[in-house]
């Protein structure tokens, strides 16, 4: 499962493209062309996700795009960290409790939730295990190939 969010790309009044993300209303950005707009959208969405994690607020699940929307997909590590965060909130477990279960210092636990930190897969797996979950991988052929 990849983390993906639909975005709307619409012509703006100054010759650029306006980009919004219906699932994350705080995301508004622009691009000179569609590729540029999608790149900016990915950055803006990742920042919004990081802000929600830092603030301890909910992150909406991935969804399929409507007919007039594109989709932005995120790297596997962003997907795993976001899913870990959502699992922690769903179970009502604090980061401190996760740290106790893992026998890790708070700083090590906090890094698991920093989207810009290159956590090791073994650490992510251990955290999911501490929540009673396992990580599985599937490989799919890309639709654009």
Question: What pLDDT, on a 0 to 100 scale, did the predictor assign at position 130?
Answer: 97
Which token pair is 42?
């990915």
User: Torsion angle of alpha carbons 119, 120, 124, 127, nearest 10°?
Assistant: -90
Maximal C-alpha separation, the chain:
54
How many residues does this entry show for the chain? Answer: 145
Residue boundaries of the structural domains of the chain: 4-73, 76-130
- The residue among 55, 52, 17 whose CA lies nearest residue 33 is 17
CB-based contacts of 36, cutoff 8 Å, min separation 6: 17
Global pTM?
A: 0.90
Q: What is the DSSP letter of 29?
A: E
Going by the DSSP 8-state scheme, the letter that residue 16 receives in this structure is S
Kindly indicate whether the domain formed by 4-73 is annotated with CATH number 3.30.420.140.
Answer: no
Q: Mind listing the pLDDT tens digit for each residue in 96-137?
A: 999 999 999 999 999 999 999 999 999 999 999 999 999 998
**What pLDDT, in 10s, does the model give residues 12-59?**
988 899 999 999 999 999 999 999 999 999 999 999 999 999 999 999
Written as six digits, the tokens of 27 are 């995301």
Q: Tell me, what DSSP letter sits at residue 33?
A: S
Of residues 68 and 37, more confidently modeled: 37
């Amino acid at each position: 499962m990849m983390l993906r969010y639909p975005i709307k790309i619409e012509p703006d009044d100054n010759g650029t493209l306006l980009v919004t993300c219906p699932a994350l209303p705080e995301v508004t950005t622009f691009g000179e062309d569609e590729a540029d707009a999608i790149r900016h959208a990915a950055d803006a969405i990742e920042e919004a996700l990081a802000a929600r994690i830092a603030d301890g607020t909910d992150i909406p699940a991935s969804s399929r795009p409507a007919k007039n929307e594109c989709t932005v997909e995120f790297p596997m590590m962003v997907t795993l960290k976001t899913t870990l965060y959502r699992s922690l909130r769903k179970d009502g477990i604090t980061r401190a409790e996760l740290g106790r279960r893992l026998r890790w210092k708070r700083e090590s636990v906090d890094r698991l939730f920093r989207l810009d930190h290159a956590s090791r897969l073994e650490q992510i797996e251990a955290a999911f295990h501490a929540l009673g979950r396992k990580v599985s991988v599937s490989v799919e052929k890309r639709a654009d190939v």
